[in-house]
Amino acid sequence: MSDHLREELQKRSEAISTTAPAGLGLPDEVHVYHSLYPLEPGGPERRKWFGGWASSVYKATSKIDGSPVTLRRIEGFRLMHEIAFSTVESWNKIHHPNVVALREAFTTRAFNDHSLVFAHDYHPNAQTLASVHFVHKPAPSSRTGRSHHNPGSQPHIEEQVIWSYVSQIASGMKEIHAHHLAIRTLDASKVLVTGKNRIRINCCGILDVVSYDPRQSVEAYQQEDLVSFGKLLFALCCNNPSAMNNLPKSLEIIARHYSGDLKNLALFLISKPNPNKNVDHIFEKFGAKLAAQLGAAQVYADQLEGELMGELENGRLVRLLCKFGFINERPEFNHEPQWSDTGDRYIIKLFRDYVFHQVDEAGNPVLNLTHVLTCLNKLDAGVDERIMLVSRDERNCLVVSYKEVKSCIDAAFGELARRSR
Ligand SMILES: Nc1ncnc2c1ncn2[C@@H]1O[C@H](COP(=O)(O)OP(=O)(O)OP(=O)(O)O)[C@@H](O)[C@H]1O
């Protein structure tokens, strides 16, 4: 596995297992979730994104299946109409690679107030598009140490990356609109980057409950989604979340750095709503650009498969090493203190020495990983090749095949397994 991928996956695994320090005053349990861990610092500077309500986000673990989830709590919210939950069921049906899935919504008093909580899938180590592209990371010498946005401080995003974002957002939006729903929160701070240029629309379903209004038509919200998409595109192309505030200048920047297609798409998206303006239009008009993204995604999938092939042996070898650990030097089994040094187990012990405890003519240890991996792979495959196993005092010498050693290990492990609880 490449170092980059290994690091990325390790960070994700660490993110899943991170736990909150004691003393944060968080409840032990909220509905069926426990082990809450705040994903953002609290404080008054938080934006009130959802209908003017303060919210906070936590990672938590489900009691039901042990999976990690994201809980977004709308603080001090009293649900007036139970019917506001009706769209949650529709959101549950959306399982799309570019949409963070909504699992459920519920009210709770666990935070000592009336809170409304949304449980979405958790994507470890995810960042928002805003934090990836709009936050200027302070130099280590910076006196405040604070991050801030500084338009133009980051290089322009490559056009290919922008098309990749466009195809993923359009694809997620198409699925959502096809279910007669609308995103309503499309913004750089509400789109997650969960891998190399891999993005997912976040926070779906929240406004449907928090700002429930049966008089508003879904079609109108869908039109707003398209305009929000356009604004997001302007922001990304200009590297500036406020790009829409100065449209002529932003168009000039786009024309300077990007193709006419991208500019046309941005203009189409921010154009006035009309019944013929819909997400399908993006695929019809810019299909060629989006098809190229499909190719790139497949190349990446091939690369990952290649990396996976390289790791194929690992699981098998770890299982073999565990069996060695269970069998060798076992102090007592079956009322036989010598169990691990007698019978078939003696062959296993000599084989372990042959693999790991080789010495050179001067008696110095030989630490040859290739020798170890070759032996373990041959053992795993049970090949007929024969090897000579010699006891440490050189009094015993046995010639056995890998296949025979393998059956000794299987038999000894089977004996242990039968007596284990
Ligand atoms: N489903 C999720 N999986 C993993 N991490 C998430 C998920 N949703 C949000 N986060 C993380 O939680 C943090 C806070 O999310 P939030 O949506 O509040 O964004 P934000 O950057 O704080 O935006 P703002 O404060 O402007 O509303 C972000 O760092 C985000 O990466």
**Shared-domain flag, residues 115 and 24:** yes
**Shared-domain flag, residues 262 and 353:** no
Of 57-71, 287-301, 332-346, least confident by mean pLDDT is 332-346
The identity of residue 184, as a single letter, is R
Of 159-173, 272-286, 333-347, least confident by mean pLDDT is 333-347
**Shared-domain flag, residues 280 and 316:** no
Could you tell me if the CB of 126 is within 6 A of ligand 1? yes
User: Considering the domain boundaries, does residue 367 fall inside one?
Assistant: yes
pLDDT at 183 over 60: yes
Q: Which residues of 369-407 are buried (b: 16+ CB within 10 A; e: fewer)?
A: eeeeeebbebbeeeeeeebebeeeeeeeeeebebbbbbe
User: Considering the domain boundaries, does residue 53 fall inside one?
Assistant: yes
Could you tell me if the CB of 200 is within 6 A of ligand 1? no
* CB-based contacts of 255, cutoff 8 Å, min separation 6: 263
**Shared-domain flag, residues 254 and 218:** yes
Give DSSP secondary structure letters for 41-69: --STTS--TBTTB-EEEEEEEETTT--EE
**Shared-domain flag, residues 51 and 84:** yes
User: Considering the domain boundaries, does residue 87 fall inside one?
Assistant: yes
Do the beta carbons of residue 74 and residue 114 sit within 8 Å?
Answer: no
pLDDT at 259 over 90: yes
- What's the pLDDT at 385? 96
The CATH number of residue 361's host domain is: 1.10.287.3700
**Shared-domain flag, residues 93 and 232:** yes
Could you tell me if the CB of 56 is within 6 A of ligand 1? no
Ligand 1 atom nearest residue 128's Cα: 31
For residue range 103-146, list pLDDT tens digits in order: 999 999 999 999 999 999 999 999 999 999 998 655 444 444 44
CA distance 10 to 205: 31
Across the chain, how many H-helices and E-strands are there? Answer: 12, 11
Looking at the DSSP bridge assignments, the partners of residue 399 are 388
Ligand 1 atom nearest residue 190's Cα: 17
Q: What domain range is 332 assigned to?
A: 308-420
* Nearest in space to 241 (alpha carbons), one of 158, 159, 154, 172: 154
The identity of residue 20, as a single letter, is A
CA of 67 to the centre of ligand 1 (A): 18
pLDDT at 182 over 90: yes
For residue range 81-90, list pLDDT tens digits in order: 889 999 999 9
% the chain with pLDDT above 70 = 95
280 is in an annotated binding site: no
For residue range 16-34, list pLDDT tens digits in order: 999 988 888 899 999 999 9
Could you tell me if the CB of 202 is within 6 A of ligand 1? yes
pLDDT at 97 over 90: yes
**Shared-domain flag, residues 177 and 107:** yes
User: Considering the domain boundaries, does residue 351 fall inside one?
Assistant: yes
368 is in an annotated binding site: no
The CATH number of residue 166's host domain is: 1.10.510.10
For residue range 30-49, list pLDDT tens digits in order: 999 999 999 988 776 777 88
**Shared-domain flag, residues 276 and 314:** no
Within 13 Å, how many C-alpha atoms sit on residue 1's CB side?
14
pTM for this prediction? 0.82
Tell me which H or E stretch contains 407.
Answer: helix 402-419
- What's the pLDDT at 137? 52
Could you tell me if the CB of 345 is within 6 A of ligand 1? no
User: Considering the domain boundaries, does residue 7 fall inside one?
Assistant: no
- What's the pLDDT at 38? 95
Do the beta carbons of residue 119 and residue 198 sit within 8 Å?
Answer: no
- What's the pLDDT at 150? 56
Do the beta carbons of residue 105 and residue 186 sit within 8 Å?
Answer: no
- Hey, which of 118, 189, 201 would you mutate to test ligand 1's pocket, going by the most ligand atoms within 8 Å of its Cβ? 189
**Shared-domain flag, residues 163 and 37:** yes
**Shared-domain flag, residues 67 and 162:** yes
**Rounded mean pLDDT, 141-163:** 67
Token readout for 307 is 């990396």
Token readout for 113 is 């107030």
- What's the pLDDT at 98? 97
ipTM for the complex? 0.96
User: Considering the domain boundaries, does residue 144 fall inside one?
Assistant: no
* Nearest in space to 15 (alpha carbons), one of 126, 135, 128: 126
Mean of the per-residue pLDDT values of the chain: 90
- What's the pLDDT at 142? 44
* Nearest in space to 234 (alpha carbons), one of 186, 199, 281: 186
Could you tell me if the CB of 72 is within 6 A of ligand 1? no
User: Considering the domain boundaries, does residue 64 fall inside one?
Assistant: yes
Q: Residue of the nearest CA to atom 6 in ligand 1?
A: 126
**Rounded mean pLDDT, 183-208:** 95
- What's the pLDDT at 317? 87
354 is in an annotated binding site: no
285, 320, 342 — which closes off a domain? 285
Q: Residue of the nearest CA to atom 31 in ligand 1?
A: 127
pLDDT at 299 over 60: yes
Count: domains in the chain: 2
Instruction: Sort residue 43 into left (φ over 0), alpha (ψ -120 to 50) or beta.
Output: left
**Shared-domain flag, residues 190 and 259:** yes
CA of 203 to the centre of ligand 1 (A): 9
User: Considering the domain boundaries, does residue 315 fall inside one?
Assistant: yes
* Nearest in space to 193 (alpha carbons), one of 129, 137, 145: 129
For residue range 216-229, list pLDDT tens digits in order: 999 999 999 999 99
194 is in an annotated binding site: no
Mutual angle of helices 260-270 and 247-257, in 10-degree steps = 150
pLDDT at 245 over 50: yes
- What's the pLDDT at 89? 94
User: Residue written as tokens 């409950």?
Assistant: 209
Tell me which H or E stretch contains 281.
Answer: helix 279-327
**Shared-domain flag, residues 262 and 312:** no
